[in-house]
Amino acid sequence: MGDLRYLKIYNTNCPQEFEGDIKLNFPEGLQLPLNEVRYLHWLKFPLKEVPSDFNPDNLVDLKLPYSEIERVWEHNMDAPKLKWVNLNHSRKLSTFSGLGRAQNLQELNLEGCTGLKTLHEDMQNMKCLVYLNMRGCTSLESLPRIKLISLKTLILSDCSKFKTFQVISDKLEALYLDGTAIKELPCDIQILQRLVLLNMKGCKKLKRLPDNLGELRALEELILSGCSKLKEIPESGKSMSRLEILLLDETTIEEIPKIFSVRRLCLSTNEKTSHLPDIINYFSQLQWLELNSLRTIAKPLVCVPEILFCTSFPGCEMPSWFYHEAIGSMVEFELPSHWNHTRLSGLALCVVVSFHNCQDHANLNVKFTCETKTRESSCNGITWKDGSLIKQDNEVDGVESDHVFIGYTNCLDFIKLAEGQDPRKCARTKASFEFSVINGTGGEADFEVLKSGFSFMFESE
């Protein structure tokens, strides 16, 4: 088999479910003098290391998932063509030696290598490495002082003993530190000028963010969900003009940061956020606002263009400031003559839903229709998603009590309708809102809409 270029040994069962060994018989021992092999994939590789007689000169792709190896090779081997290495869930891997000369390596997957405590300093020779996945390396405590000049994606998710992060590449675009034990970010974090995604979800020991966080000018997504000791976002955060997604649920942050470029803001299960401050009206790009921790709604949102948000809480009564209300799912009303000439800016919608011990995700559909004496037209409604039934780690609990849903949308549909009417006519317009609840698959759900209502929102003079 001297000319063999492709070797794959695997089991058709999912390796995570397959508990038995892949038993192969080698009467004369395992020898791999495969000088021409390009692709080597061996599920549950049985040896402690790859045999030294294996020549990796032409090797391009090495996959040894769920293997028994403790190291790849004892000494560094020349592997000039090697681009991809996958050793995921090789739990006995204790050192990453043997690949220090793989200068063209592009992707390295060490996910689930729970025995790996550190990386070898020879990795600095991997000048082409762009992707490093160490998710679930639960023995890893820190990274060596190395520089990976091409690294763009670094995944350290669920490295539960990882305490200290230091920048190992200024080319990083995605950094996953979720589920780690870090208490703070390094003071030189600002050199990550290409960083687009920073995920620190579930960093329960994180107490503060560096003052120069706002210098991450390329950052578009900042995930701080579950950072239960985090109390504030630095004032410099308002300089992150490209930030679009900011998740602050399950934190103790009291003041909403002034980052007006945000399109999605999550404050769910944040006990310190009991009401919305007036500053929310300056978030001109906001499209999705999650506020499921609110228990009271003091007044409606106004002056927020192009926004759709939702909050929900247990209860059976609508707030008193909803002017139009009805029993059931249909609210019928009449619009006054020339209603479209007012400073109408939005609609606040409210519905009370009975779930009957529901254990399914729910979406709420709202359809608006109107009718004049001369024409009938229908405007596509809005749909907002109920996040209150979605628990952490995707666990869904049954809901027995009635819930109140409150949402806000702009009036683009109303404006389009108004543009199609004859402004000289003084006809009153009959209109209605119809609320319906559907399950996560799009079908009708076994929920009952008990009450529904809405109020018009107007711009201030």
Q: Residues 205-255: pLDDT tens digits?
A: 999 999 999 999 999 999 999 999 999 898 888 889 999 999 998 898 888
- Of the CA atoms within 13 Å of residue 451, those in its CB half-sphere come to 18
pLDDT at position 391: 35
The tokens describing 220, both together, are: 């578009």
CA angle 10, 15, 20 (to 5 degrees): 85
**Of 141 and 289, the one with more pLDDT:** 141
Mean pLDDT of 341-357: 72
d(CA 449, CA 461) in angstroms, rounded, equals: 36
pLDDT at position 242: 93
Q: Please tell me the least confidently modeled range out of 48-57, 74-83, 281-290, 361-370.
A: 361-370
How do residues 352-398 score in pLDDT, each as one tens digit?
Answer: 888 765 555 555 555 656 554 444 444 434 444 433 333 333 444 55
pLDDT at position 461: 47
**Of 448 and 343, the one with more pLDDT:** 448
Average pLDDT, rounded, for the chain: 77
Asked whether the CA dihedral 258, 260, 266, 268 is positive or negative, the reply is positive
Whether pLDDT at 106 is above 90? yes
d(CA 320, CA 329) in angstroms, rounded, equals: 18
Give the pLDDT band (50/70/90) at residue 98.
confident
pLDDT at position 26: 59
Q: Please tell me the least confidently modeled range out of 98-107, 316-325, 350-359, 392-401.
A: 392-401
CA angle 280, 230, 241 (to 5 degrees): 45
DSSP label at 27? T
The answer to whether residues 357 and 397 touch, using CB atoms and an 8 Å cutoff, is no
Q: Please tell me the least confidently modeled range out of 13-27, 309-323, 344-358, 433-447.
A: 13-27
Whether pLDDT at 31 is above 70? no
pLDDT at position 302: 41
pLDDT at position 12: 67
DSSP label at 282? G
Of the chain, the end-to-end C-alpha distance in Å amounts to 84
Structural domains in the chain? Answer: 1-161 (3.80.10), 324-458 (2.60.40)
Whether pLDDT at 30 is above 90? no
Q: How far is CA 413 from CA 61, 301, 381, 416, in A?
A: 54, 18, 8, 5
pLDDT at position 275: 61
Beta strand 429-439 pairing with 330-335: antiparallel
Mean pLDDT of 76-94: 92
Mean pLDDT of 99-112: 92
Taking CB atoms within 8 Å and a gap of at least 24, the contacts of 221-224 are 221/196, 221/197, 221/245, 222/198, 222/246, 222/247, 223/178, 223/197, 223/198, 223/199, 223/247, 224/200, 224/248, 224/251
Name the 3-class secondary structure at 335.
Answer: strand
pLDDT at position 382: 40
Q: Which conformational region is residue 342 in: left (phi greater than 0), alpha (psi within -120 to 50 degrees), or beta?
A: beta
**Of 298 and 360, the one with more pLDDT:** 360
